[in-house]
Chain A
Amino acid sequence: MSDTSHDTPHVPGPSLWPIAFAIGVACLLLGLVISWIVAAIGAVIAVAFGFLWARDVTRDVRDEVPAIEPETRAVADQASATTTRAVATEQSLPAYTRSRFLEASTLGVGAAIGAIITLPVLGFTVLPSFTNLEEDEADLGPIENFPEGEYVIASFLANASAGEVSRRTTFVRNNGTTEAGEPSFTILYSRCVHLGCPVQPNGPIDEENTTQVDGVELRPVLAQSFGCPCHGGLYDAEGNRQAGPPVRSLDRMTFSIKNGRLVLGELYAVGNVSGTGANAAISRYPWSVPGTHVDGVEAWLYPIVPSQVTG
């Protein structure tokens, strides 16, 4: 058989099955690492689509070549016939050509690979700042160390494994008991609610009665107000703003008493405190970054803060 078809390279018809076959093989290899179920699914996919692919590419060989009618056309018509045929060919071309398919699949697969690599990295960049933030329980020692009606500067490590970088300072005042007979403590957090500088008590520190137990340092202080050295914020004995730029009252911490020891709980933001000591009415909000309003119209600027989401 001396046909001229060997002059041009044989090109198999376009087929989509290799893609599914490749997915099956990838799934199979992935399954070898992850689990045999994934491997089995991959094997089934690969075999099924491999079969379809093979059937596709061998169609030309298996099928009998259909008999082609000889062209019968008048010579006079040839010029016009060529034109119409060219037009017809142009119109009958598939709208979605091979090159467009390859272009789209290159872009698509590239984007998929990019996303697969980028998203976990992006997650690792951002998420550790918002997850697993649990800190050690701060045990400030026996409540007898806190004389009633006086402030004590208590500093402790929030996270012993992180070391000194996690040292926090609070101003603790024993308020005696509430009307209901519950113990009451005022625990102010030392960070200024303007921009986070370390607030200082305005009064002499009783250095002689300083105690240090298990990394907790207690220093009694005679103070009825607190001041911030950075920008002049001034707070009264309840942590309410008296002067300067702070936008809310000093943050506070919850507490519990376990075996006669004062144990600190979570940090929360305070809009305002009315009343004093054990009788104080505290407007409490989830903790937010210093400088952000927690009440009033301005709080609408911070509808969701991280501590509302991460706990």
Chain B
Amino acid sequence: MAKSKRDQMIDMAVLAPLDWVDERTGAVRGTKWFLFRNVPRDISWMQTLGSAALTAFIVQALTGAILAMYYKPSSEIDPLTGNPIAYTSIQAITDELTLGWLVRGTHRWGASVFIILLFLHMGRVFLFGAYKYPRELQWITGVLILVMGMLMGFTGYLLPWDQTAYWATVVGINLNGTAPFAGPWLAQFLASGPEIGSDTLPKWYALHMLLIPGALIALIGIHIYLVTRLGVSSPPWSKEAAGRERTAVEPTGARAGLVRGSGGD
């Protein structure tokens, strides 16, 4: 049957470019692999906690990037206000810049939402037994994501540079300092010296918005890749098999050719 002219136009405008891109990148097949997956029939809202945590992280990343355009990580005194520059810039974001209060508030409360969702997601996975074979590495990367999330909270708390931020961070640094053997060294590294000084705030700012987010994004990428590869698990009360049959490990299966002397060469 000959195609109508309209179908031909759709072919030209939409499908041909998609094919062109996919032929060169595999992006269309990749998108289908990522999004168009089968899930167990008896999943519920409980399985959306992970996506909710991801959404909270994206909100944090976006609002954080925008706050970084106006925040100044300096403990020097602003001669105009008599207050530290960091604190002055936070005040400006909150009180003067249009809708700044909303973005800062979203970032500030979103941080708590992110951590709460991480814990709820973790509890769901634990209670459903979804961490079991073959999803052990998802649990491990998830725990690392939780650690990174808490580090984000710890480093972000100092940035307003008010009395609460300062003394809470002093206590936090010294808590780390009580760890055996390496504790005092860790504390001195975190404070950039025996006490918090002029280098501390920029260091924590860099940790908060460059180093830890980089690690967090990488871990989230691995975590989501594993979810896509292994699929969503059924709940424990499901009549469907929750796990997978453990496939017999071929002695020289996947690693042949990568590790010398392990077969295949």
Q: Do A and B bind each other?
A: yes
Which A positions have Cβ atoms within 8 angstroms of B? 126, 128-130, 133, 158-159, 162-166, 168, 191, 195-198, 230, 267, 287-292, 301-303, 305-307
Q: How many whole Å from A87's CB to the nearest CB in chain B?
A: 19
Give 29 pairs: A residue, B residue, CB < 8 Å, sorted on A: A129-B191, A133-B193, A158-B195, A159-B197, A163-B77, A163-B198, A164-B75, A164-B84, A165-B197, A165-B198, A166-B195, A195-B170, A195-B174, A195-B175, A196-B174, A198-B167, A230-B167, A287-B194, A288-B184, A289-B178, A289-B184, A289-B188, A290-B177, A291-B178, A301-B181, A302-B181, A302-B183, A306-B185, A306-B188
Q: How far is the CA of A291 from the CA of B177 in the complex (A)?
A: 7
List of A residues within 8 angstroms of B191 by Cβ: 129
Which chain B residues border A307 with CB–CB below 8 Å?
194
Secondary structure at chain A's binding surface: helix, strand, loop or mixed?
loop
**Quick check: is B171 within 8 A (CB to CB) of the other chain?**
yes
Number of A-B residue pairs, CB cutoff 8 Å, is 83
Q: Which of B189-216 contact A (CB under 8 A)?
A: 189, 191-200
User: Contact: B171 with A196, CB < 8 Å?
Assistant: yes
Q: Is the CB of B193 within 8 A of A164?
A: no
B90 within 8 A of A: no
CB within 8 Å of A: which B155-185 residues: 167, 170-171, 173-175, 177-178, 180-181, 183-185
- Pair B180/A129 contact, Cβ less than 8 Å: no
A12: min CB distance to chain B, Å: 27
Residue numbers in A under 8 Å from B174 (CB-CB):
195-196, 289-291
Q: How far is the CA of A287 from the CA of B195 in the complex (A)?
A: 12
| Bound CA–CA A305/B188 (angstroms) | 10
With both chains docked as a complex, state the minimum distance between the C-beta of A24 and any C-beta of chain B, in angstroms.
32
Query: Contact: A128 with B180, CB < 8 Å?
Result: no
Q: Quick one: which of B60-98 are within 8 Å of A by CB? A: 75-77, 84
- A292-B178 Cα distance, complex, nearest whole Å: 5
Which residues of A have CB within 8 Å of B198? 159, 162-163, 165-166
The residue among A159, A165, A291 with the most chain B CB atoms within 10 A of its own CB is A165
**Roughly how many angstroms separate A15 CA and B41 CA in the complex, as a whole number?**
65
Asked if B187 is at the interface (CB within 8 A of a chain A CB), the reply is yes
* Complexed CA–CA distance, A307 and B229 (Å): 51
Q: Are B188 and A163 in contact (CB under 8 A)?
A: no
Assuming the contacts A133-B194, A291-B174, asked whether A302 and B180 have C-beta atoms less than 8 A apart, the reply is yes
State the CA gap A163–B173 with chains docked (Å): 21
Known: A128-B199, A133-B193, A291-B175. 19 other contacts (CB 8 A): A126-B189, A163-B75, A164-B75, A165-B75, A165-B197, A166-B197, A195-B175, A197-B167, A198-B167, A289-B184, A289-B188, A291-B174, A291-B178, A292-B183, A292-B184, A301-B180, A301-B181, A305-B185, A306-B185
